Structures are given as structure tokens and as C-alpha cells.
Amino acid sequence: MKKLIFVTMLVSLLAGMMVACSGDDEQGISFTSYNAGLAIGFVDYASLRQPEIVSALAAEKSDVICLQEVWNQDQIDAILDGTKDAYPHSYYEITEGEVAEGDEPACTTDETDPLVVCVEDKCPDVDPENLGTCALENCLAEFSALSSACVGCATGELGKSIDEIVEACTTAAGGSWAYDGHNGLLMLSKIPFKAKEFMTFNSYLNVRSVLHTTLETEQFGTMEVFCTHLTATLSDVGYAGEYGSWDAERSYQIDELIKYVDDESEKTRASVVMGDMNCGPETSNVNAEFAENYQQFVDGGMKAPYVDYALSPCTWCDENTLTGGADSGGEDAIIDHVMFKYMPEDTSYASQRVLDAAITITDDDEGDIETRLSDHYGVEVIAIP
């Protein structure tokens, strides 16, 4: 145990030294990717963690932040209001999923009854906000038995009680998108945006988009900045999209993202691509997570300084209680990225993990809870001309 603690401290120290060597250079420009995990019904304690996240973001030093999993307008407004002094410029686009067509309800009571029985037995006193996590952990067989239409509707109703979910999905066709089709993306910046636009990928269950902004910088002139969140492989949920699997859908999105970057940058302007890519390579410090998907970025000419530094710690970590911990079979991985393309050849980089503090929140039923800001940790990279 002492050896493990020493190694962990050494890794953190080296990572800090790497930033300290160059990160104080005033000529550098910094970018941060952070999945805030404000997925009500899917990541525990979202509402209780939200004020802590807002405070942490307001204290960040990065020039531009790409946020993921900020799913509703109340969350967006809270972050904008709490960070406006540090980050006066922001960009988001509200996307909305279409309601499923047809008169037939999304679910039948025959398929939902076993799930209801299980949830009432295994999660009797769980707050609706945290019900999704409990249900997937304890009633996976019953959830997996639902039809694809029923899964889509139930996922779209996350954050409600089991009775409310069943009522909505057995009396109407329901929606086919989680979080009403919102994409969960939000960009914060200390630098004004010269231009803004967005694109939406084809996807199943969650709407996946990319925000694109243009910055005028002293360091690199005009820069194209992209913020996204690609499809996750949901082992607990069967895939019913048009690409055959979660992995294949993500592969399509990566190809489209690289093409979009190339087109918008005209293959000349310095470009930054940030987000939760739900894939990453094996390094000396972390395990691979769908490495073949990550290789598409490498083959597409993307440079990821945080990954390139072999001792960079995980961003999706089994020690984080919000990921389910080691008991869930999770492994340390780097799936959150800040990547660059078309940068000057003499550009240097410094990187570090950020927004990884432990916090204490208070729940009316559970009392004080030791947890983390999110189920993800953030990545900051400073580009230095």
C-alpha cells in the first residue's frame, strides 16, 4: 500500500512539474475538456454536485473550456451565472429530439411489470434522481428485456420515479432521446468568439453534436475550436441504431469529426478538438478503451499531448466512486481529450489533470457523502508557440 501511495504521489508530482516548466509562460493559450456528469438519473448526486462544479469552474485558469453532460437549461443557467466573471463568453445550442410517431405506447405493462417489481424491491428508498444507477446495477436483466422503443422512452424519462416512467411509457409513444434530445455541450471562454456554429451527428439514444467556434489569438492567429461528446458504449443497454453497434457509431462520428475539422480549418488554421471521446489508448499508466477508435484520431493527424505524456493519470478512474469503482469491473482509462491539428511545428505543450478534487456533499437521507465533482476528471493542455 505504501508503494502504491508513493507511486501515485510521484505521478502527480511529475505531472505538476510538467506544467510548471512551461505552464506559467504568458504566451501560452490553455484549453480544458471536462465532462461534468450532470446526468440526472444516470450519474449519482447530480443536483447536489452542481454547485460544487460551478464553483470549481469559476476558479479555473484555462482560457477555453469545453463542457459535456450539462443536460438542461437550469444547469446551463447556473454555470453561466456562476462563471460569468471568469468566463464572459459562452456558446451552446439546444437540440431537441423528435417524439416517436404512432399511436402505440412505447412499452407494454407485460414488459415493464418485472422491472417495476425489481426496482421496488432493490431500490425502494432511492431518490428518483439516482434511480437509474440503482436500477441498472440491480435490475439489469429486467431492463435488458425491454424492447428498443421502451428502452428509448424509459431513458428519456430518467430522473423521474419508476411509477412516473411507467405511466409515461405505457400510455404514449414517448420520446426516443435521452434528456429530451439535448446534446449537453457548453463552451466557456475568456476570449471572444469570432464565429460560432454547430453540427449534429447521426446517433442512437443520445443526441451527439459538435460546437465549433473561431478565436482570434495572439499566439496562433485564427484558431478553430471544436467541442464534442461522442457516443458511449453502453454495455447495459442494447444498441438499436443504424450502425450495428455502439463502437461502430462512434467510429462513424470520429470520421465525420475529422472531416469537419479539415473542412472548417481549410487544412491550414490551427485547430483544437476537445471532448469526451469515449475511447483512448493504452499507456504505461492506463488501460486501453476502444483503442481502435482512438487510433482513428491518430491516423487523422490529431496530436493529444496529455496522452503523449506516458505518466498522465486516468480521467475515467476506478477509484472514483461515481464510476461504480473497482466493484463495477472498471479500469483506469483516458477517454477525455484535448487534441490539436495544423499547429506550427515548433509548438510545445504542457498538460495536467484538473477538476479532480474530492468533495463532501450532504444528502437529506444519507447525510454527509464523500465523492468527486464528477465521474470524469478534466484535462487541461497549454499550447505554447
Question: CATH code at 237?
Answer: 3.60.10.10
Which of 56-60, 146-150, 202-206, 309-313 is predicted least confidently?
A: 146-150
Residues 230 and 351 in one domain: yes
> Is residue 264 classed as helix, strand or coil in its secondary structure?
helix
For residue 221, give the amino acid letter.
Answer: G
How many domains, in total, are found in the chain?
2
Whole-number CA gyration radius for the chain: 21
Tell me whether residue 273 is exposed, middle or buried, using C-beta atoms within 10 angstroms of its C-beta: 0 to 12, 13 to 18, 19 or more.
buried
Confidence class for position 266, pLDDT limits 50, 70, 90: very high
The answer to the question of residue 120 being in a domain is yes
Which among 171, 193, 215 is the end of a domain? Answer: 171
Residues 252 and 361 in one domain: yes
The neighbouring-strand residues paired with 196 are 213
Confidence class for position 25, pLDDT limits 50, 70, 90: very low
Domain that holds residue 154: 109-171
Residues 273 and 254 in one domain: yes
Residues 167 and 266 in one domain: no
45, pLDDT greater than 50 = yes
Confidence class for position 14, pLDDT limits 50, 70, 90: very low
What's the confidence (pLDDT) of residue 107?
A: 86
Distance CA 238, CA 52 (A): 34
Q: Helix count (H) and strand count (E) of the chain?
A: 11, 13
Which among 143, 171, 199 is the end of a domain? Answer: 171
247, pLDDT greater than 60 = yes
Q: Work out the percent of the chain whose per-residue pLDDT is above 90.
A: 62
Residues 323 and 375 in one domain: yes
Residues 188 and 167 in one domain: no
Q: How many CB atoms lie within 10 A of CB 351?
A: 25
What's the confidence (pLDDT) of residue 101?
A: 53
What's the confidence (pLDDT) of residue 102?
A: 57
Out of 145-159, 283-297, 329-343, the most confident range is: 283-297
Asked if 234 contacts 208 with a C-beta cutoff of 8 angstroms, the reply is no
67, containing H or E segment: strand 64-68
Residues 304 and 275 in one domain: yes
Asked if 49 contacts 371 with a C-beta cutoff of 8 angstroms, the reply is yes
The answer to the question of residue 20 being in a domain is no
What's the confidence (pLDDT) of residue 178?
A: 76
